């Protein structure tokens, strides 16, 4: 059982280039989200999705696009990378469980992106 | 809107000493509160959570946290620190049944031998 899989683990881009960070889950969770982690700022929510075909903006959505065509996949697209997008990106999922599983996020291992 | 404030970006304790990591939250509705831990070069994993049942919540690795509504606090404690506890700890808040989890800035715990 792989859980949440993120690819690539590392990526270096030049300013203006585009790329897609992939996130795939095999837990049949309806909710998926993308966070970025920067020193001293914790994790900030970029975009999230509550199901296939439904996405919404989080705290820091500018410069990023998402789509959710299947339950399993939630890619994050950078259309024109900027140095300010240098960060570690985490994908997370959440099921509709009750009790001990309610609202608990399961994270991927992260993708470290450097924009030169 | 919900928010989380973690007091102290770095905390250093000696092995065997008490660990206390502070977290205050703001929420207009009854919150769910969480502590997550991140070991070096890894993703985050759940340490414990509060969901309006018992106010004292026990988690993994001997950690516990107490929900105090009057103080809007959810501080994390462990009676005796171990070297393996060195990590970054994040406090987080979400609405019951909601899908947006907001994180604090994190506290890095150092444990000295």
User: Does residue A83 sit in helix, strand or coil?
Assistant: helix
Q: Is A25 on the interface with B (CB under 8 A)?
A: no
Best of B27, B99, B106 to disrupt the A interface (most A CBs within 10 Å) is B99
Pick from A2, A42, A56, A106 the residue to mutate for testing the B interface (most B CBs within 10 Å): A42
Tokens at residue B55, please?
């106010």
Q: What is the DSSP letter of B70?
A: T
- Greater pLDDT, B96 or A86: A86
pLDDT at A97: 64
Is pLDDT above 90 for B41?
A: no
Confidence of residue A11 (pLDDT cuts 50, 70, 90): very high
The residue assigned the tokens 């509550």 is A50
A43-73 per-position pLDDT tens digit: 999 999 999 999 999 999 999 999 999 999 9
* CA gap B112, B96 in Å, rounded: 38
CB contact under 8 A, B44 and A107: yes
Q: What is the pLDDT of residue B78?
A: 98
Q: List phi, psi (to 5°) of B60.
A: -80, 160
Residue corresponding to tokens 């994993």: B45
Closest listed residue to residue A43, CA positions, set B94, B66, B55: B94
On the question of a cis peptide bond just before residue A8, with omega within 30 degrees of 0, the verdict is yes
Give SS3 for A91: strand
Cα B73 to Cα A41, A50, A103: the distances in Å are: 20, 29, 19
- The whole-number pLDDT of residue B40 equals 87
* pLDDT value at residue A98: 62
Between chain A and chain B, the number of residue pairs with CB atoms below 8 A apart is 61
């Amino acid at each position: 059982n792989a859980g949440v899989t993120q690819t690539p683990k590392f990526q270096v881009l030049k300013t203006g280039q585009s790329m897609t960070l992939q996130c795939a889950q095999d837990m049949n969770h309806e909710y998926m989200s993308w966070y970025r982690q920067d020193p001293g700022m914790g994790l900030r929510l970029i975009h999230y999705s509550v199901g296939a075909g439904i996405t919404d903006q989080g705290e820091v959505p500018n410069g990023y696009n998402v789509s959710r065509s299947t339950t399993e996949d939630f890619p994050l697209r950078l259309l024109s990378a900027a140095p300010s997008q240098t960060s570690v990106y985490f994908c997370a999922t959440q099921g509709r469980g009750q009790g001990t599983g309610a609202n608990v996020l399961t994270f991927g291992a992260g993708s470290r992106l450097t924009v030169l | 809107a919900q928010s989380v404030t973690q007091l102290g970006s770095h905390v250093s304790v000696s092995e065997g000493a008490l660990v206390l990591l502070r977290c205050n939250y703001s929420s207009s509705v009854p919150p769910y509160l969480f502590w997550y831990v991140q070991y070096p070069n890894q993703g985050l994993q759940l340490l414990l959570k509060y969901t309006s049942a018992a106010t004292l919540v026990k988690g993994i690795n001997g950690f516990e946290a107490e929900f105090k509504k009057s103080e809007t606090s959810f501080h994390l404690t462990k009676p005796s620190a171990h070297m393996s506890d060195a990590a970054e700890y994040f406090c987080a808040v979400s609405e019951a049944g909601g899908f947006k989890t907001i994180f604090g800035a994190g506290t890095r715990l150092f444990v000295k031998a």
